[in-house]
Structure 1
Amino acid sequence: MNTSDSPVAVIGAGPIGLITALGLVAHGVPVVVFEAGDDLSSETKAGTVLTRTLEVLDRYGALGPVLEVSLRLDEIGEVDRATGTSTGSVLTSALAGETRFPFVVNVPQHELEPVLAHVLEERAPGTVRMRHRLEDFTQHEDGVMLRLSTPDGIVSFAASHVLACDGGRSTVRDRLGVEVTGHTLEQRYMLVDLVCDLDVRNPRDYPYLAYFGDREEWMVLVRQPHCWRFVFPLAPGRDAPTPDELRNKARHFIGEVDSLEVLGGNVYTVHHRVATEWRDRRVFLMGDAAHLITPMWALGLNTGVLDASNLPWRLAWVRRGWAGEKLLDGYEAEQKPVAVHGSGAMAEAARAVMDRRSDSVAGWRDAMTRTLLGVRLGADWSMTRTGPLGVGDRIPDLRVFSRRGPVHLHELCRDSFLALHLTDARRRPHIPAGGPAGLRQVVVSRWDALDPHVYFDPGDTVRERLGDAVVLVRPDAHIAHIEPWTATAWKSVQDRYLQEVHLAG
């Protein structure tokens, strides 16, 4: 079989599957999403989208419609349950110099998914195919043949690659025989949506994302666009509370209010489990199929979006012939440590703070701030970003000016590697035309020049952050390489790019 022009098959139309598909479409890669269900999920699930995820949605052209149905917030608070007093807040406005989106948003997953699906349908009509349940697949040297059950019987589908976004009970992972390691907590989470007025008739002035810590029973309170979401721990073996019990539990934290209407709820089993392998030749595991992380600190969905940020551009480069197959190995190498040691470890720390087994509230604020913009990727991966920017870091989305007006660094690298030459444009640094496919080289300088390859940097804002350097940035806005600037930097960064995409030599 020859599937060089065949679509990529995404299994599962949850948020990670839909965002992954949007990423592939943004890079010009044909894709089909197969969903077993009759419709998108209507369950009460994830509800907070962090800043880095907003940047990914913006890169994939879906942020505007998502913001239209979301509630924006710039404060994440921690409240001591015993005293009812604030123990500190994270103010996302502190990120205003780092991103165009210095806030997070609350939107229920069952409202997010239809918006993502609608954008995908507009960009690539017919991409999502409902009632297509994956039964099995066979890998070949140059593609994957899928067998799917549909209302019209079993059908076959030839795909170039398969991306498993089919959740914690992944059929794809099961067919591959991949194990998951880790543990499942005895404690479960109860999530319930309640309609109550805490703004006018019963003003409480809680942050719209508030963590109530307590040794006996903690709670997370999330203001959704049309309700308040309460998340409680549920003791082992305890049945799900009745609606009356839920109303009483809510009053235990927020006090008496004039009305509490239960809209719906869900009981979650809490995991820290990660697949032992994330890739088998042309098949990749993503999101919950690769890692089951507690929803504490919004680490479930948002960790999956980091997967959806990392893999699509790699597939695009390989399919275009701009990269060697080894480029695809970087996906698991970079994302697996984030799930195992990053998000998972931070989730454990979050539970300790909420249970008051740890008094590190200052650490809580630091950790929460760090989750908003992602992690350093690569061999020296890290959840921290102290000191100067280095390889693997997400580059700040700083503003520069083209001949036509303002533009941000993340916009310049959406579908290319970007080499930023931070030097003096008055000296007319040599930047050759052409070069390897997929690489763009520009000059950033506080001295303007009548050259479309020069971007004006008033006040040396970018140069102050990065120094007199040439910086190679990937399409996902992570730094691939930094070196001191020289007159021949264009050649060395070109060679480095070819190494990054595994075409050197």
Structure 2
Amino acid sequence: MLRKDHTESHAGPLSDGDSESTDVVIVGYGPVGAMVANLLGQAGIRTIVFERDVKPHSMPRAGATDDEVLRVFQAAGLADQLLPLLDLGQSTQFRSARSVPLVTMRPRGGRNGFPKLAFFYQPDLERVLHEGIARYPHVAVRTGVRVEGLHEDDDGVTVWTRGGAHGRQKATRARYVVACDGGRSTVRNLRCIAFTGSTYAQPWLVVDAKLEAPLTDVTSFQFIGDPDRPAVTLPLPGTHHRWEFMVLPGEDRTEFATLENARRLVSPWVDPDRITILRHIVYTFHARTAARWRSGRVLLAGDAAHLMPPFAGQGLGSGLRDAHNLAWKLAAVVADDADPSLLDSYETERRPHVTRMTWLTRFSGALVQTRHRRVATVRDVMLTKMARLPYFTEGRFKPDLRYSSGAFETSPRRAGAGHAFPQPTVRTPEGRMVPLDDLIGGGWALIGRDLDPQVHLSSESRALWDTLGTPYLSLGRPGRRRARHEAGTIAVEDLDGHALDFFRRHGGDFAIVRPDRIVFAMPDIRELDHAADLYRALIRGKSRRHPLPRSSV
């Protein structure tokens, strides 16, 4: 049974025109809220977004992302708009106190179909997301509106809002609410959800600037491991640049954040008279998480659910992964294609991955933040040795997107379930070369390893997948796609080998892929029909949950 936290606002009686209804209310119009709105809009879900600020945030905050997040933009139909605005293929470098390069990391792999590291200017990224929402007339955005209260009952949630300082209070009725309203989340506080964790003792000054031209001697993301004052310097797309400087013990934060001090600190890199400093502000970094990410019909995402330090560039990325995981589940529940219990799997899946990413950011921060000279010397020696290890220099230490439990088959024989299915470039029967996700669309997919899925499905199972609009693919090696297949099956060649390698590593003849590209099951031929039963149990919740049977092979 759903938990019904009860929060009342101080509301008077409603008059005509004071109320409206929708399927989903999103609170917060930052990148995470905007991505959830795009994905729900794509699914045809009526959505209203409430944002307390009148105008979009004009200052950059996040600056780095990865291939997994670019795949989320692809799922939202926005990759083509975003890619020209990115700085792709950059490297990350650790430098000593004397700015001597110790190790350079150039992530390699690209199994998601994009470069593994990308830098962006956040106002540009948000503009892409906001323009994307304009595609959907059933998605409305209300700015200058603050949420003042919530009340949940058996049928939905009433969200009480007020526009402007003296506007009239209004009630919006929704089936679900998604809180994407940041680390100081109003919605999380209204639901009395604890937000626990640690606040870093060392505050940092962040300086964002517009240059006349990119710095020729700073062409990568650089951590400066200077015990006297650790620093970060980061070129962003165009002529934008960011510096970050540790505030040392005993320094006054207010004085340290002055424009004069910001100009002094950046002067070793650039003439401060030849740049425009857009922002200079002291931040204290957090590592916190909400006690629960679902409270009845209210769900938390992004910074409202978790905060992490910025040192590995994973804060915003984790929020956008939340959006991809949650949106398809919420859309299925709203459309009555899934049982509401499916929403419980959102936190079950996402929380452990966020925990792993938080550990990575804290480890990265520990490398750069030490102020003990002996520790820094040992660190520098260690990094110099790590410079010879591809595991480190190619970024293989970053945890892949995979879940250990949730809404997928958890048999130990099929360890590929719960992993993100790779995205190779495939060749179609017409000779086109396309990314796999563009071919299978935004829903479920059934992919055979050199097999036609339709041939091995019973009529009952096929009816289920057909109802979901599931595309059927037969995936073969270059030059060896299937010549014969059922009408409706697309026979393609895996030009990169990523997907076929995934099959070899994890077994199974088929991969059933969820809308968020996570593998739902990897059955053998004899198990394929049972995967439909598993879908009914885990997604629709209409039969006893059970694992796929063990094959006799």
Q: Same fold (TM over 0.5)?
A: yes
Residues 421, 153 of structure 1: alpha-carbon distance in 2 compared, 3 angstrom cutoff: same
Which residue of structure 1 aligns with residue 402 of structure 2?
376
- Distance in 1 (CA, whole Å) between partners of 2:440 and 2:229 is 46
Residues 318, 56 of structure 1: alpha-carbon distance in 2 compared, 3 angstrom cutoff: same
After superposition, where does 1:146-185 map in structure 2 within 5 Å? 146-151=159-164, 152-185=167-200
Which residue of structure 1 aligns with residue 503 of structure 2?
466
Residue 430 of structure 1, CA deviation: 5.2
RMSD between superposed Cα atoms in Å: 3.0
Of the structure 1 ranges 47-56 and 437-446, higher mean CA displacement relative to structure 2 is found in 437-446
Query: Secondary structure in 2 aligned to 1:471?
Result: strand
Residue 104 of structure 1, CA deviation: 3.5
Which residue of structure 1 aligns with residue 429 of structure 2?
403
Residue 424 of structure 1, CA deviation: 4.4
Deviations 1:250-304 (A, max 9, x none): 234x377883442222221210111101111100011111111112211221111
Letter in 2 for 1:350: S
Kept in 1, the 8 Å contact 2:47–2:138? The answer is: no
Which residue of structure 1 aligns with residue 362 of structure 2?
348
Query: Secondary structure in 2 aligned to 1:138?
Result: strand
Deviations 1:291-319 (A, max 9, x none): 11112211221111111111000011112
Residues 79, 113 of structure 1: alpha-carbon distance in 2 compared, 3 angstrom cutoff: same
- Distance in 1 (CA, whole Å) between partners of 2:157 and 2:295 is 11
Residue 123 of structure 1, CA deviation: 2.9
Residue 370 of structure 1, CA deviation: 5.2
- Distance in 1 (CA, whole Å) between partners of 2:295 and 2:390 is 37
Residues 182, 427 of structure 1: alpha-carbon distance in 2 compared, 3 angstrom cutoff: closer
Deviations 1:25-64 (A, max 9, x none): 1222111100111111123411223221111011001222
Kept in 1, the 8 Å contact 2:147–2:161? The answer is: yes
- Distance in 1 (CA, whole Å) between partners of 2:521 and 2:393 is 26
Residues 444, 492 of structure 1: alpha-carbon distance in 2 compared, 3 angstrom cutoff: farther
Deviations 1:346-397 (A, max 9, x none): 111011111355555449974983587852113399xxxxxx9722211110
- Distance in 1 (CA, whole Å) between partners of 2:139 and 2:39 is 16
- Distance in 2 (CA, whole Å) between partners of 1:183 and 1:167 is 17
Which residue of structure 1 aligns with residue 444 of structure 2?
417
Query: Secondary structure in 2 aligned to 1:244?
Result: helix
Query: Secondary structure in 1 aligned to 2:265?
Result: helix
After superposition, where does 1:95-494 map in structure 2 within 5 Å? 95-96=109-110, 98-124=111-137, 127-151=140-164, 152-196=167-211, 199=214, 203-204=216-217, 206-224=218-236, 225-236=238-249, 237-239=252-254, 240-252=256-268, 254=269, 259-339=274-354, 341-356=355-370, 358=379, 361=383, 362=386, 366=392, 369=395, 374-379=400-405, 390-404=416-430, 405-424=432-451, 429=456, 432=459, 433-436=462-465, 437-438=467-468, 440=470, 441-445=472-476, 446-451=481-486, 452-457=488-493, 461=497, 462-467=499-504, 469-483=509-523, 485-486=524-525, 488-494=526-532
- Distance in 2 (CA, whole Å) between partners of 1:319 and 1:231 is 43
Residues 276, 458 of structure 1: alpha-carbon distance in 2 compared, 3 angstrom cutoff: closer
Percent sequence identity over aligned pairs:
25
Residues 26, 128 of structure 1: alpha-carbon distance in 2 compared, 3 angstrom cutoff: same
Query: Secondary structure in 1 aligned to 2:357?
Result: helix
Residues 286, 169 of structure 1: alpha-carbon distance in 2 compared, 3 angstrom cutoff: same
Residue 328 of structure 1, CA deviation: 0.6
- TM-score when scaled to structure 1? 0.87
Letter in 1 for 2:421: I
Of 59, 69, 72, which residue of structure 2 is paired with 1:53? 69
Residues 251, 177 of structure 1: alpha-carbon distance in 2 compared, 3 angstrom cutoff: same
- Distance in 2 (CA, whole Å) between partners of 1:117 and 1:407 is 26
Of the structure 1 ranges 403-412 and 491-500, higher mean CA displacement relative to structure 2 is found in 403-412
- Distance in 1 (CA, whole Å) between partners of 2:366 and 2:304 is 26
Which residue of structure 2 aligns with residue 31 of structure 1?
47
- Distance in 1 (CA, whole Å) between partners of 2:63 and 2:69 is 13
Q: Which runs of 5+ in 1 are unaligned?
A: 382-387
Which residue of structure 1 aligns with residue 16 of structure 2?
none
Letter in 1 for 2:263: R
Of the structure 1 ranges 182-191 and 418-427, higher mean CA displacement relative to structure 2 is found in 418-427
Kept in 1, the 8 Å contact 2:475–2:494? The answer is: no
Larger radius of gyration: 2
Residue 229 of structure 1, CA deviation: 0.9
- Distance in 2 (CA, whole Å) between partners of 1:114 and 1:504 is 42
Residues 402, 364 of structure 1: alpha-carbon distance in 2 compared, 3 angstrom cutoff: closer
Deviations 1:93-122 (A, max 9, x none): x224x1322153333323332331122123
Residue 192 of structure 1, CA deviation: 0.8
- Distance in 2 (CA, whole Å) between partners of 1:126 and 1:249 is 45
Aligned residues: 486
Query: Secondary structure in 1 aligned to 2:517?
Result: coil
- Distance in 2 (CA, whole Å) between partners of 1:316 and 1:391 is 22
Letter in 1 for 2:32: I
Which residue of structure 2 aligns with residue 384 of structure 1?
none
Query: Secondary structure in 2 aligned to 1:247?
Result: helix
Residues 189, 426 of structure 1: alpha-carbon distance in 2 compared, 3 angstrom cutoff: closer
- Distance in 2 (CA, whole Å) between partners of 1:267 and 1:179 is 25
- Distance in 1 (CA, whole Å) between partners of 2:126 and 2:485 is 45
- Distance in 2 (CA, whole Å) between partners of 1:175 and 1:428 is 53
Kept in 1, the 8 Å contact 2:22–2:172? The answer is: no
Which residue of structure 2 aligns with residue 385 of structure 1?
none
Query: Secondary structure in 2 aligned to 1:148?
Result: strand
Deviations 1:162-217 (A, max 9, x none): 00011111111111001111110121121112344565xx631x333222223332
Which residue of structure 2 aligns with residue 501 of structure 1?
539
Which residue of structure 1 aligns with residue 9 of structure 2?
none
Residue 21 of structure 1, CA deviation: 0.7
- Distance in 1 (CA, whole Å) between partners of 2:71 and 2:53 is 29
Kept in 2, the 8 Å contact 1:413–1:475? The answer is: no
Deviations 1:66-96 (A, max 9, x none): 234x23221222131324232232324x224
Kept in 1, the 8 Å contact 2:97–2:226? The answer is: yes
Deviations 1:233-264 (A, max 9, x none): 22354333333322322234x37788344222
Residues 414, 88 of structure 1: alpha-carbon distance in 2 compared, 3 angstrom cutoff: farther
Instruction: Tell whether 2:89 aligns with 1:89.
Output: no
- TM-score when scaled to structure 2? 0.80
- Distance in 1 (CA, whole Å) between partners of 2:177 and 2:210 is 41
- Distance in 1 (CA, whole Å) between partners of 2:425 and 2:448 is 15
Of the structure 1 ranges 77-86 and 180-189, higher mean CA displacement relative to structure 2 is found in 77-86
